[in-house]
Chain A
Amino acid sequence: MRFPVSSVTVRFRHVLAGLFLGLAMPLAHAGSATAEAPDLADDAATAMSWLERLGPALNMTSYRGVFVYARGDQVHSMQIAHRFRNGQVEERLVMQDGGSGEFVRKGLNVVCVLPDRGRISLNEVIPSGPFAEAFSSQLMPFGDWYRPQLVGEDRVAGYDVMTIALTARDENRYSHRLWLEKNTGLLVKSHVRDADGEVLEHFQFTSLEITDDIADEELEVQTQGREITRTLQASDASQSVVSRMNGWTLNWQPEGFMPAAAPRSGKGKAVAFSDGVAAFSVFVEPVGSLKMPTGASRVGATTIYMREMSVAERPFLVAVVGEIPPRAARKVADAVEIDDILALELSER
């Protein structure tokens, strides 16, 4: 299902925005270099205080709108209604293009409706792990790994915003740029950029209305189709990480990345790491009949690096997936060490 004219203009606006962005980038760089000299510390502190509002604002602001998400060649747009009332988050997202479908969330209860089409199997799509709270509850000292900086003021989707840059302090992570609405701190636009300033991933509201006046009907499932409900479990991250990392260790990871909420991988040996801004997951699995190639692929800011290794004459596949540069992903994959015990345990099955 397609929404008429507006989505077309969105699409092309995005394309053009991309063009202009590309053109404007060198200028922007030159400008910020000269402007940032005074009040540097002040600037960073202000930026940090804005960032502290980001997490709470995402949940506790009520709004409706349409946003566009682009990485690589892919562009998706989604319609969202989000309401915070009586301490509970309710939201509904409707895909605007490609495979239609919707997510509806009431607190920890998520309903996902997808017309029976395409190749997505339903249980793949539903987030099965801890939802939004897992990471946002722990504000990490990411100032150590990124240089926060107040870039200036702007307007996005009709709202005044503050623009904040998080520039990576080393080459193992990407830089980010965030646009936060001035009154609420709501994230209305974001970029992930590589060291050359190229935008790898682009998220942006194209229409937005921040309002507490969101009717119950806007949060109801409306698509006809197969429906799947799942209750999200509150996370128990610290405990599960320990047990999940049994069997293998990382000898190296980019500074600042800490084990975070553990993915509930079917085969169980996966761990996610986060530096408070970016995240990557490490999967370690015995190789069955399926052989995977060695090397990296990426879409937008997301890299997937795979390699096979052998322990006690048993082949394992190591996959590192995340919003980190390919070289970093490779270094992480190369740093995985599998215990003989795990190899033994698995081969006994």
Chain B
Amino acid sequence: MDERLRETLSAMMDDEADELSVRRLLSHGDQEEIRGQWQRWQQVRDLMHENHGPADAVDVAVAVREALDGHVRPARSADGVPEAPGGSYWRWPVAAMVVMALVIGFGAGAGWDSQTVEPAAPFAMTEPADDQALMLSAAVEEVALQGLDEDQLQQMRQYLLEHAQHSSVGAGRGSVGYARLVSAGGGY
């Protein structure tokens, strides 16, 4: 696999590949090799986040093509996007990238901790949040971002932005402040 394809693959893991390069990747001769690389990286990443994703079981190429061709796979587990055992949130990077449907708020909570504490009563909003709603601790209830609607996410993002703008950028930490700002504003 050449460096460019490797880069695309890496970008896909970070939700950042553009459509053209993804298509190029998909037309690469040795799909087996690409799948292998994807799975190895995915495993490293899952290890880091302690959620053992279903990388082994998924044919990346098929799902990616579907996403590119407009068969939108919602980010949520509702209709067959494989979900990791143990309830950790499996996001679908390319679908997220291409469809932009994921780019509500913070990528629908993709960047947020779903820490390994025991599941607890989820905060129910527009629809019942599933087992991704976890408690931060016994004392502080965690809001399940997946259950929030667009306006609520927008409001939360606004708070994060204002905080980042006024304290972090100004906190005498220079670049860290910018980074926090971009992170709060983007989510992608």
> Which residues from chain A sit less than 8 Å from chain B, CB to CB?
2, 4-5, 7-8, 11-12, 15-16, 18-19, 22, 54-55, 58-59, 67, 69, 71-76, 78, 80, 82, 93, 95, 97-99, 103, 118-120, 124-125, 127-136, 187, 190, 203, 235, 260-265, 270, 272, 274, 277-281, 283, 290-300, 302, 304-306, 319, 321-323, 326-327, 329-330
A272 and B163 form a contact (CB under 8 A): yes
Residues of B90-125 at the interface with A, using a CB-CB cut-off of 8 Å, are: 100, 103-104, 106-107, 109-113, 123, 125
A78 and B178 form a contact (CB under 8 A): yes
B16 and A98 form a contact (CB under 8 A): yes
Instruction: Report the minimum CB–CB distance from A68 to chain B (whole Å).
Output: 8
A270 and B113 form a contact (CB under 8 A): no
Task: Give the A-B contact count at a CB cut-off of 8 A.
Answer: 239
Q: Does any Cβ of A come within 8 Å of B80's Cβ?
A: no
B172 and A69 form a contact (CB under 8 A): no
Q: Mark B118-154, 1 if CB is under 8 A from A, else 0.
A: 0000010100000000001101111101011001100
Chain B residues with CB below 8 A from A302, complex form: 160, 163, 180, 184
Chain B residues with CB below 8 A from A292, complex form: 152, 155-156
A73 and B111 form a contact (CB under 8 A): yes
Chain A residues with CB below 8 A from B156, complex form: 292, 297, 304, 306
Q: Does any Cβ of A come within 8 Å of B78's Cβ?
A: no
Chain B residue with the shortest CB-CB distance to A301: B180
Chain B residues with CB below 8 A from A135, complex form: 167, 170-172
- Docked Cα-Cα span, A118 to B102, in Å, equals 11
A8 touching B11 in the complex, CB below 8 Å, given contacts A58-B172, A296-B140, A299-B106: yes
Closest 6 CB pairs of A and B: A136-B172, A69-B179, A279-B167, A263-B166, A58-B174, A134-B170
- Docked Cα-Cα span, A249 to B12, in Å, equals 47
Q: Mark B153-177, 1 if CB is under 8 A from A, else 0.
A: 0011011111101111111111111
B170 and A261 form a contact (CB under 8 A): yes
CB-defined A-B contacts under 8 Å, sample of 21: A19-B48, A73-B112, A74-B106, A74-B111, A93-B175, A99-B188, A103-B178, A118-B100, A127-B181, A128-B165, A134-B166, A263-B167, A272-B163, A272-B166, A274-B167, A280-B167, A296-B142, A297-B112, A299-B111, A304-B156, A327-B137
Q: Does any Cβ of A come within 8 Å of B33's Cβ?
A: no
B44 and A129 form a contact (CB under 8 A): no
Contact of B175 among A80, A261, A319 (CB under 8 A): A80
Instruction: Report the minimum CB–CB distance from A27 to chain B (whole Å).
Output: 18
Instruction: Report the minimum CB–CB distance from A81 to chain B (whole Å).
Output: 11
A326 touching B136 in the complex, CB below 8 Å, given contacts A124-B185, A297-B142: yes
Residues of B1-30 at the interface with A, using a CB-CB cut-off of 8 Å, are: 3-4, 6-7, 10-11, 13-16, 18
Give 20 new A-B contacts, CB below 8 A, not counting A7-B7, A187-B173: A8-B3, A58-B173, A97-B16, A98-B15, A98-B188, A124-B158, A125-B182, A129-B170, A131-B169, A132-B177, A187-B176, A190-B173, A203-B175, A203-B176, A290-B155, A292-B156, A296-B136, A304-B156, A305-B140, A321-B163
B113 and A261 form a contact (CB under 8 A): no
Instruction: Report the minimum CB–CB distance from A6 to chain B (whole Å).
Output: 10
- Docked Cα-Cα span, A124 to B11, in Å, equals 26
